[in-house]
Structure 1
Amino acid sequence: MAKVCELCGKGPIVVNSVTRRGKARAAGGVGRKTTGISKTRQLPNLQRVVINKGGVGVRLRVCTKCMKNAYAA
């Protein structure tokens, strides 16, 4: 599958992108107003990595968190 980490299974998530206008109440304004909400996708940071399995190089798409945990150990 595309855009999915092959080690942990982390994939894209759907989040709301909130657009606001106005000045914050703490900064002396009347408060922030929401003017629009649209859905966006956040994709995992995938990198191609070659991992040796039994003397054979296997190319995987791995998220950077898995890379960090694998190389730290």
Structure 2
Amino acid sequence: MSKVCELCGKGPIVVNSVTRRGKARAAGGVGRKVTGVSKTRQLPNLQRVMVSRGGVGVRLRICTKCMKNAYAA
């Protein structure tokens, strides 16, 4: 089962997770240092929803942004 919205096509993205140590300069320290960068995946918030298409109920996996736009109209 793919992690892609069936209406808009939104899927997972790859982002950097930055690990830092130290105390910020604004708080009286010498500054924050980057100690590591690793890649992580951010997945869309998919929900299973019954949608009527042509009078027939179809179960789709759609993201919450599409749900919000569909029910707002």
Q: Which residue of 1 aligns with 2:10?
A: 10
Query: Using the alignment, how far apart are the partners of 1:6 and 1:68 within structure 2?
Result: 15
Query: Using the alignment, how far apart are the partners of 2:15 and 2:70 within structure 1?
Result: 28
Pair 1:46 & 2:46 matched: yes
TM-score (norm 1): 0.97
Q: Which residue of 2 aligns with 1:72?
A: 72
Compute the RMSD of aligned alpha carbons.
0.8
Q: Aligned pairs, how many?
A: 73
Query: Using the alignment, how far apart are the partners of 1:55 and 1:47 within structure 2?
Result: 21
1:51 CA displacement = 0.5
Q: Which residue of 1 aligns with 2:55?
A: 55
The one-letter code matched in structure 2 to 1:15 is: V
The list of structure 1 runs, each at least 4 consecutive aligned residues, that deviate by more than 2 angstroms after superposition, is none
Q: Which residue of 2 aligns with 1:26?
A: 26
Of all paired residues, the percent bearing the same amino acid is: 89
Name structure 1 gaps, 5 residues minimum: none
